[in-house]
Structure 1
């Protein structure tokens, strides 16, 4: 039976290789599958890089999903940073006006922070510091672009075995423009409760600031330290109980910032709780790490540091360096003008097509000059990809590990390659500054042995 399965897998692998995008990409295996489509790992034959090719099908079935995809591919084009996942390429559809699917090529990451935390119970203090530094460095860049991520959690942070992290999944992100108030008003905040700032508890209709992302980073860092979620609330009330059990009951002024009436009344009527010293909750942690964590988890958003302020914390002494912590130019209104008006399905289709052309410079030039063709008949191998991905969907993606989709919306980056269920970092390795100076490839060679254990 096993021999038959291996033979079937081998046949499918041959099929993938033979009928993949012969012009550029050599398909390796299926690494994810869900209601959105299929993800395959592949080799970019032009560069030799490993990539992940994601097909998202029927993107215009629901205009809200199409707008989310448009927002995400636009943001990932504008936010180019070493600690943010990168879109390498988007395949050109055969027709400008009739396409339904898109094929997005990402850099391939091996796992995500959720898997890293789950599989590694012997991470070092150097790992903790390096992880938090990368996350705050990315957040500084994102926030200086006037972007709020709004859905930071371990599963939205991709990871490699060399300890490199990259933030992904910008489907819920929003841009705050300079002419808007310092607090922003959006109505579809649906991020995971466990990492949601207290001012948002129970509210899907809130005003808030970039401090919501800082709170999420604090929750993630605490989870890295202990291996368990910090505030795994079963509902809003339980969530508030867990927060106040650790942080103590907030002041009445702070409670007034909570938008949800029920949550605000619950906090007001709550018995007085004293904060638990973080050294008691995290007895083996670096005291400097706990001082920073206490700042990140301030109940009042005004008391949380900005990402830039957090990077200047003494915890990062010897690692932080301003010249490699870039800011981003604020994103202009023109890029997200579609968010300010009611758009039709065809409007969004045209805007997504315009984003795809960013990865095809000559065709973009023709488009801007008004000389582009409606149909593209040159060999792009998109038809081959369509057949291939259809085959993968029909066969359940059995040539590789199948990872279930957790979100119903069609967000772009997910899922990533997990080579085995126990994704391990080397527990004897520590990160060094050379990871930043010479990049992740050099990091593997520069990581030093801590001890020799059997």
Structure 2
């Protein structure tokens, strides 16, 4: 791939509404549980085809319930992080939020929520989207975040048409849905692709959802791995490059003493 979406946004001030629509369409069709979507993780070619990369934080969802998570506070990634991640839980809807932030950046050429820290990030979100409802705040699991949101002055949402003048109202309506504070209020990838914004592009009936990879492929995510297990895995990986020693190991004749070749 020739570039990434960060470079595309930075270098092109002549992107058209058709570019915006086609980029968003491709991001939604991917329908992954990536957890770290941002422009630098979206590769791009001159024919406007996109590919998602860097699956280092991608995880399998063993169920649909919110899951607790402790997330390292990377500065660059924070800007595209759904609010529930600051509140120490996540669902697959986090990718929809990230895609919404990326789409907004395509529209303006600037990050939507360039927070300097977690508190500043929440301030920027609520400045645009308004303060969450008392019911939404009550559902926040993290006590410190719940207290901060409860003590925040009440803010009214700013109409997206004011933030993004001269943008297709259908695009803004879909963006507003993707940037819902509560994960349950965001559309799924399938629902977003069925939105009127994609009427001229998407044909949902000819794009059936792919069957998910069996969760049995990810059973290793459940296992607790000891230091001895890791040592054994590394040793087995080394043996893959030495077939004779691997054969001896599998036959049980190996003494577990490895000598590097000259």
CA distance in structure 2 between the partners assigned to 1:293 and 1:243 by the alignment: 14
Q: Is 1:340 aligned to 2:222, yes or no?
A: yes
Of the candidates 171, 175, 180, which is equivalent to residue 60 of structure 2? Answer: 175
Of the candidates 18, 21, 26, which is equivalent to residue 129 of structure 1? Answer: 21
SS of 1:158's partner is: strand
CA distance in structure 1 between the partners assigned to 2:141 and 2:8 by the alignment: 35
Q: How big is each residue's C-alpha offset from its partner over 1:45-81, in whole Å with a ceiling of 9 and x where there is no partner? A: xxxxxxxxxxxxxxxxxxxxxxxxxxxxxxxxxxxxx
- Could you tell me which residue of structure 1 aligns to residue 188 of structure 2? 306
Q: How big is each residue's C-alpha offset from its partner over 1:132-190, in whole Å with a ceiling of 9 and x where there is no partner? A: 00000002xx2xxxxx211000000000011111111111011012xx45223344465
Q: How many residues align?
A: 241
Task: Calculate the TM-score normalised by the size of structure 1.
Answer: 0.49
- Could you tell me which residue of structure 2 aligns to residue 231 of structure 1? 113
Check the 8 A contact 1:157/1:167 in 2, yes or no. Answer: yes
Of the candidates 101, 118, 141, which is equivalent to residue 10 of structure 2? Answer: 118
Q: Is 1:292 aligned to 2:177, yes or no?
A: no
Task: Calculate the TM-score normalised by the size of structure 2.
Answer: 0.83
Check the 8 A contact 1:197/1:215 in 2, yes or no. Answer: yes
Q: Per residue, is there more strand in 1 or in 2?
A: 1
Greater RCO structure (CA 8 Å; 6+ sep): 1
Of the candidates 62, 67, 78, which is equivalent to residue 184 of structure 1? Answer: 67
Of the candidates 268, 271, 275, which is equivalent to residue 150 of structure 2? Answer: 268
Root-mean-square deviation (CA, aligned residues, Å) is 2.6
SS of 1:166's partner is: strand
Of the candidates 188, 201, 211, which is equivalent to residue 329 of structure 1? Answer: 211
Check the 8 A contact 1:175/1:331 in 2, yes or no. Answer: no
CA distance in structure 2 between the partners assigned to 1:185 and 1:117 by the alignment: 33
- Could you tell me which residue of structure 1 aligns to residue 260 of structure 2? none
CA distance in structure 2 between the partners assigned to 1:351 and 1:256 by the alignment: 49
CA distance in structure 2 between the partners assigned to 1:198 and 1:172 by the alignment: 17
Cα distance, 1:286–1:348 mapped onto 2, change above 3 Å: farther
- Could you tell me which residue of structure 1 aligns to residue 95 of structure 2? 213
Q: Per residue, is there more helix in 1 or in 2?
A: 2
SS of 1:195's partner is: coil
- Could you tell me which residue of structure 2 aligns to residue 245 of structure 1? 127
The structural deviation recorded for 1:198 is 1.1
CA distance in structure 1 between the partners assigned to 2:6 and 2:182 by the alignment: 27
The structural deviation recorded for 1:285 is 0.8
CA distance in structure 1 between the partners assigned to 2:181 and 2:21 by the alignment: 23
The structural deviation recorded for 1:351 is 8.3
Q: How big is each residue's C-alpha offset from its partner over 1:174-226, in whole Å with a ceiling of 9 and x where there is no partner? A: 1012xx4522334446562111111222x4xx332111111111101000000
CA distance in structure 1 between the partners assigned to 2:11 and 2:236 by the alignment: 41
